[in-house]
Structure 1
Amino acid sequence: MTTATADLYDERGEELDSPALPLLDLGGRTTFDGPARTIRCHRDNALVKRVLATPGGGAVLVIDGGGSLESALVGDVIAASAVDNGWAGIIVNGAIRDRVAIASLDLGVKALGSNPRKSAKDGLGELDVPVTIGGVVFTPGRHVWADADGVLVER
């Protein structure tokens, strides 16, 4: 991504949405973009782990954890798997853990915060469904851009 999100919004504002969330930059890469893949899950990251262990092809995984900070949906092992499998980034409407390790990875990671508590591993959740985060719908396949200013997604 060579164009900053602010400039991209100035050029294409009517085609783009930006979630109103205080997402933190927690990965080793602040700027990233790619087609969206989505997961909706609550305090269960088995589906997240399974998906990020598959070839990402430069995609961005958008995880709707319902804004819960009660347990982490992504940790260092899962994030390292994402790097190994060619994912551009992860956006989490929820918490991650292992912040220091994740910050050293060549991966974009945005989340609401962190919590050392691990999540359940029951495999509950939905894959590649439209998810609404911060008042914005993320549809699988639509392009997502992220940088220090925030996140944009095609409408």
Structure 2
Amino acid sequence: MTKHLATCDLCDAYKNDSSGDFRVLPPVFRDFGQQRRFQGPVQTVKCFEDNTLVKAAVDSVGYVDTPEGRVGKVLVVDGGGSLRRALLGGNLGAAAARNGWAGVVIDGCVRDVAELAQQPVGIRALASMPLPTEKRGEGQSEVAVQVQGVWVRPGDWLYADEDGMVISVKPL
């Protein structure tokens, strides 16, 4: 497993980066999972009040095997910032943990907060909302997304800890 890199240290090292290769997510996300620190390569989903593709992602293998060992991926969900429906709940949080995901970051809401807190995975979202989504089969996977105005692309690396979340085009 990769050693955790502190987001403050990364920001100190890359604060003058003007290439766009290093980005910081705004401090609007709350922790809902058991893991406060997580990192890994990004997989993306873009959806709005329909979690069909979120379910498909967390039900799939959430890690990659590398010469250095197994590395959990981070699912980044562009939910359009909606506060009207929850894109992840207890069952999907358990699936993410069971399938080896390092984390799930949702620009939207979650539900079943007590259940999510028991899952050994990083889960961040804007808020909790008890109302589930409709299942319409809509959305896109593995596309560039905007999360709170910050571009996140499949294959980027996300680093999260108690201080915040940062994105890099490559592992740091």
- The residue identity in structure 2 corresponding to 1:112 is L
- Structure 2 unmatched runs, 5+: 64-71
Alignment match, 2:23? 17
Checking the alignment, whether the CA contact within 8 Å between 1:40 and 1:64 is kept in structure 2 is yes
Structure 1 residue 135: Cα displacement: 2.0
Select which of 105, 108, 111 maps to 1:91: 105
TM-score (norm 1): 0.96
- Structure 1 unmatched runs, 5+: none
User: What pairs with 1:3-152 in structure 2 (closer than 5 Å)?
Assistant: 3-13=5-15, 14=17, 15-57=21-63, 58-152=72-166
Q: CA RMSD in A?
A: 1.1
Checking the alignment, whether the CA contact within 8 Å between 1:21 and 1:134 is kept in structure 2 is no
User: Which is helix-richer, 1 or 2?
Assistant: 1
Percent identity of equivalent pairs: 39
Q: For 2:153 and 2:54, locate their aligned partners in 1 and report how far apart those are by CA, in whole Å.
A: 17
Structure 1 residue 9: Cα displacement: 1.4
TM-score (norm 2): 0.87
Once the two structures are superposed, what CA deviation does each residue of 1:56-95 show, in whole Å capped at 9, x if it has no partner? 1010000010000101000000010011111000000000
Q: For 1:143 and 1:3, locate their aligned partners in 2 and report how far apart those are by CA, in whole Å.
A: 12
Dislocated runs of 4+, deviation >3 Å? none
- The residue identity in structure 2 corresponding to 1:38 is T
Checking the alignment, whether the CA contact within 8 Å between 2:110 and 2:129 is kept in structure 1 is yes
The alignment covers a number of residue pairs equal to 155
SS of 2:10's partner is helix
